[in-house]
Structure 1
Amino acid sequence: MNKYLSQKAIDYLLSLNNVVGIGYGLKEVKGKLTDQKAIVVMVSRKVTQTELIRRHVVLKSIEGFVTDVIEVGKVSAHRIQEEGPIREAEDNVSRKSSWRPGPGGVSIGHYKITAGTLGVVVYDNFTGKKLILSNNHVLANSTNGKDKRAKKGDPILQPGPLDGGTKRNDKIAKLYRYVPLKDNGFNVVDAAVAKPLRQGLVVPEILGIGTVQGKTLPQLGMLVKKSGRTTGLTSGIVQVIDAIIDVDYDGRILKFKNQIMVTAFDQGGDSGSLVLNEFNWAVGLLFAGSDTFTFVNPIDPVLDLLGVHL
């Protein structure tokens, strides 16, 4: 956000009541996206000006940019919960079953969690070997590295435990590397990799998509897609880039910066899905969402911090 606003302006916007994030994006008018660029101010719930103390009303413009207040609701890490309504995939592919070899887009999880999505096969920068990419909260139980929630070598199950995966029958990999989720300061990625027990247990294809052709930066208005454990193959539009956002991790509120916000195209359990453009170039890693929007880590820091490549 510092490319667009001074730190003083950023701090001011984030200090306002009800504000959970900000970013640079496309302005909405009557619920429809326009081509106008704006500083998007994300609130948990839209309220009238009369409900807010005057100093907490978002200015109509700031440092030369118009502002746009958007209700995002509660933004949570999108691992599947054990209860609640879920929109299921419509492609008749059994993504919650056991897959050997395992492609991207199917159920996976650390043995202590419910289930998320196997994003894609990546390659270790040091050994060249195949690794499984997904979120920290899918493969490493949301660990900060010091809380003993997970450790290197922990069993990774496919399908994930909620979908019937057991340590005895469904172990596909071991936790290999993760980026700790910081409780203080800003996170940039929610990402981890697991090492398959055997290289032949996974394949680089993603269900319904095929192989990844490379990587690219997000652009406002870009059409993106993902293949996920819960909702299958879906698409959305990049509405905001360089976002700062608060994300709920089972009661832990973690701050993220430099994120991508997409019109909602996921549900719980789709976390870890690789997000690609229409030409199969990787854009980012899906990690969180609300009823109306999906949040994605940009692909470059995901790969760089884990020491892997596509």
Structure 2
Amino acid sequence: MATKEEIRNLKLENLKTLKKKLNVNGIGIGHKVVDGKDTGELCLTVMVRKKVPKAELLKKDLIPGKLNNISLDVFDIGEIYAYKARTDRWRPAPGGVSIGHYAITAGTLGVYVKDRTTGEKLILSNNHVMANSNDASVGDTILQPGPADGGKSPQDRIAELERFVRIQYQGGGNGGSSGCSIAKGLSWIMNCLAAITGSKTRLVPVKIQSEYNEVDAALAKPVESSVIDNKIIDIGTITGTKEAELGMAVRKSGRTTATTTGTIQVLDSNIDVGYGGSKVATFEHQIVAGDMSNPGDSGSLVVDGSDPLAVGLLFAGSDTSTILSPIDRVLDLLEVEF
């Protein structure tokens, strides 16, 4: 078996060559792991952002099994970041950090999605995080970090409000400006005309109404592509969606409580949610998970416990539970996708 000194020398001799290979972001001394078991054999450990099947790699990017008769092992360490608070300013900004409409406190940047028609990248979070609970207007400034975390305009402006699903409050109070139905009707007519003329430009309603509340959701358009990091902290890049099931393990990455885990407890819930003061809104078809969030985590994407598959959009909670809307309904109402 090679000694640590021999492996250290091998590392120094091959450092530049190995670091040029695809996804390699670190090299050190470790134990050889086979089928998930530590063999105890000292080896040169090559750390990668993501393990890729050999068949998908170019010859120059393959990592040899041995060098100078010393074993090499590949360790999937992921993307490495310098630790910083989720309430700090992030550029580019990943999912899981502080964000908010200029007139609110702060919530969580959930994830980046694509407009189904234009392919445009947009930020997904809650209405009450980015649209000020119906009181915002399209084009309003979105800050990262949110105002409660020191975000100020114009220096921390990351996006502009693009569109949102309107919240219907009990007693008929909706907040915000009127004229939504007219806006919807006009946009539908304009979209039809655009389709007839072959135009790729699509007019989207400022506020989208549903028969009853199903989601608390909003979209914002980044000021430029350089501010975007498609990954969510500790979760990575979302690859699809998954329907919630009772007992399913889930996790989220949020501004306040960072990365937490929970279990799906109740499905298809009709539930009343308080929005401060006398405002209460009833939501249908909601998912209830365990205690995995606190104020400021609103807008977090909730994903499967082991795979980067979106399950729901977190928007409310209590001392014992977390409430999320089914992600497929969120995507459909906002006409976006991953």
TM-score norm. by structure 2 comes to 0.62
Counterparts of 1:1-310 in structure 2 under 5 Å? 93-143=84-134, 149-183=135-169, 184=172, 186-251=212-277, 252-277=279-304, 278-310=306-338
In structure 2, how many angstroms separate the alpha carbons of the residues matched to 1:279 and 1:220? Answer: 17
Q: Which amino acid aligns with 1:233?
A: T
In structure 2, how many angstroms separate the alpha carbons of the residues matched to 1:211 and 1:153? Answer: 27
Is contact 1:111-1:156 (8 Å) kept? yes
- Provide Cα deviations, 1:115-138, integer angstroms capped at 9, x if missing partner: 000000001112101100000000
Structure-2 change in CA distance of 1:93 and 1:233 (3 Å) = farther
In structure 2, how many angstroms separate the alpha carbons of the residues matched to 1:216 and 1:235? Answer: 16
Structure with more contact order per residue of length (Cα contacts < 8 Å, sep ≥ 6): 1
- Provide Cα deviations, 1:158-192, integer angstroms capped at 9, x if missing partner: 00000000012100000001000012473000000
In structure 1, how many angstroms separate the alpha carbons of the residues matched to 2:234 and 2:137? Answer: 32
Is contact 1:131-1:194 (8 Å) kept? yes
Secondary structure of 1:138 counterpart: helix
Residue segments in structure 2 that go unaligned for 5+ positions in a row:
1-81, 173-210
Q: Which amino acid aligns with 1:160?
A: G
In structure 2, how many angstroms separate the alpha carbons of the residues matched to 1:297 and 1:200? Answer: 29
Deviation at 1:102, TM superposition (A): 0.7
Q: Which amino acid aligns with 1:174?
A: E
Is contact 1:95-1:105 (8 Å) kept? yes
- Provide Cα deviations, 1:38-74, integer angstroms capped at 9, x if missing partner: xxxxxxxxxxxxxxxxxxxxxxxxxxxxxxxxxxxxx
Secondary structure of 1:98 counterpart: coil
Secondary structure of 1:300 counterpart: helix
Q: Tell me how large the CA RMSD over aligned residues is.
A: 1.2
Q: Which amino acid aligns with 1:305?
A: L
- Provide Cα deviations, 1:58-109, integer angstroms capped at 9, x if missing partner: xxxxxxxxxxxxxxxxxxxxxxxxxxxxxxxxx9641000001110000000
Residue segments in structure 1 that go unaligned for 5+ positions in a row:
1-90, 144-148
In structure 2, how many angstroms separate the alpha carbons of the residues matched to 1:168 and 1:200? Answer: 16
Who wins on radius of gyration, i.e. which is larger? 2
Secondary structure of 2:132 counterpart: coil
Q: Which amino acid aligns with 1:287?
A: F
Is contact 1:129-1:199 (8 Å) kept? no
Aligned length: 215
Q: What percent identity do the matched residue pairs reach?
A: 55
Q: Which amino acid aligns with 1:204?
A: N
Is contact 1:186-1:254 (8 Å) kept? no
In structure 2, how many angstroms separate the alpha carbons of the residues matched to 1:285 and 1:268? Answer: 14
Where has structure 1 moved over 4 Å in runs of 4 or more?
A: none
Deviation at 1:225, TM superposition (A): 0.2
In structure 2, how many angstroms separate the alpha carbons of the residues matched to 1:226 and 1:241? Answer: 18
Higher helix share: 2
TM-score norm. by structure 1 comes to 0.68
Is contact 1:152-1:174 (8 Å) kept? yes
Q: Which amino acid aligns with 2:296?
A: G
In structure 2, how many angstroms separate the alpha carbons of the residues matched to 1:199 and 1:285? Answer: 23
In structure 1, how many angstroms separate the alpha carbons of the residues matched to 2:267 and 2:308? Answer: 19
